[in-house]
Structure 1
Amino acid sequence: MEVKIADANVRQARAAIRTGYDRPGSKLKPYIRLAAASTSTKGGRIRAGSPGYPQYYTADLDGTRYEAGIGCSWVINRKSQLYLDYEYAKAQDYKRPWAINFGYRSTW
């Protein structure tokens, strides 16, 4: 099978809000997040199939996606923290029921 993908341009705008609770003296900081993202695509035609019998597809990623998440960060010191959160996302044509994010954040 031969697959060829044409060049594509994808633009995404995203707005999010995060709010949490800082209990004095606690190193754990719980939070929630809400976001909306808009995606616009141009190009990206896909040609796949056997020689002489090609099939053509165009990825349609245009639309709005909504996200919600809940998590907690652990403050190591003033400039470092670890975080763990769960995220749910939904768009018109798909649903991502879960994503787990774990990371380290450093500020200077």
Structure 2
Amino acid sequence: MHQPHRRRNPGRARSTAAVSELLRIEDLHTQFHVHGGTVKAVDGVNLTIPAKATVGLVGESGSGKSITALSIMRLLEKNGRITAGHVWFRDRDLVGLTEEEMRDVRGNDVSMIF
């Protein structure tokens, strides 16, 4: 049986520019200095989260989920540090902020549940 060609109603087209970007992580690297050397905990993470999105980070145990989240929030232990990359939140690079500026961002603008 031949069916006539039906034109689908595509609704509103979503341009990639129309979806605003809330958080963008570019080539994030986090290391920990431990007795006897350095441990790479996060090695080149890239991630973009659009505005109004709810995101869950899923992976195997030890894959770097928590350290990625702690790096975004700049809540690493004293022996940990971000060694490369950027964490852009609303076009502001969180990696370059002072601790005082980060305190204003945490809780007011960004929160995470671990």
Bin for the TM-score computed over the shorter chain: under 0.3
Q: Which has the higher contact order (CA 8 A, sep 6+)?
A: 2
Q: Which has the higher strand share?
A: 1
TM-score, L = length of structure 2: 0.23
Q: Which has the higher helix share?
A: 2
